[in-house]
Amino acid sequence: MACNGALAIEEIDTGKIIGSSRYYEWNPTSKEISIGYTFIERRHWGKGANQELKILMLNHIYQWASIVWFHVGKTNLRSRRAVEKLGATLPYEKERELEGKTFNQLYYKLDSSQFCA
């Protein structure tokens, strides 16, 4: 976490990098962190790779954190379903701007006491 780097997602059979994700916005005082910027090759969509990755990341980070946040674009239904399957709840949304375009960002929260995997 100190290096602020991304995590590589490696396909077991081939050793090929098929995506990445990362932890960010670590707050040691409140023990909160975000997981995101996740990209997975399209051929692995819907096959459990994202859920497996998130479960590994959550099991690891809950050694230090109590709350994990997921920031998801409102129109990104696939990612919304994925974090909801993990048990994350949606406490709020916020209008954001990226490259001059506005969009609604959803803020999903997953407390360590709610996570069971």
> Is 1 contained in some domain?
no
Q: What are phi and psi of 43, to 5 degrees?
A: -65, -10
Q: Backbone dihedral region of 16: left (phi > 0), alpha (psi from -120 to 50 degrees) or beta?
A: beta
Quick check: 9 and 49 in contact, CB under 8 A? yes
Tens of each residue's pLDDT in the chain, 117 residues:
455 668 999 998 999 999 999 999 999 999 999 999 999 999 998 888 999 999 999 999 999 999 999 999 999 998 999 999 999 999 999 998 889 999 999 999 999 998 876
* Domain span holding position 39: 7-111
> Is 117 contained in some domain?
no
pLDDT of residue 80: 93
pLDDT of residue 32: 97
> Is 74 contained in some domain?
yes
> 62, 76, 71, 72: which is closest to 117 by C-alpha?
62
In degrees, to the nearest 5, what angle opens at C-alpha 2 toward C-alphas 108 and 68?
15
What CATH number does residue 95 fall under? Answer: 3.40.630.30
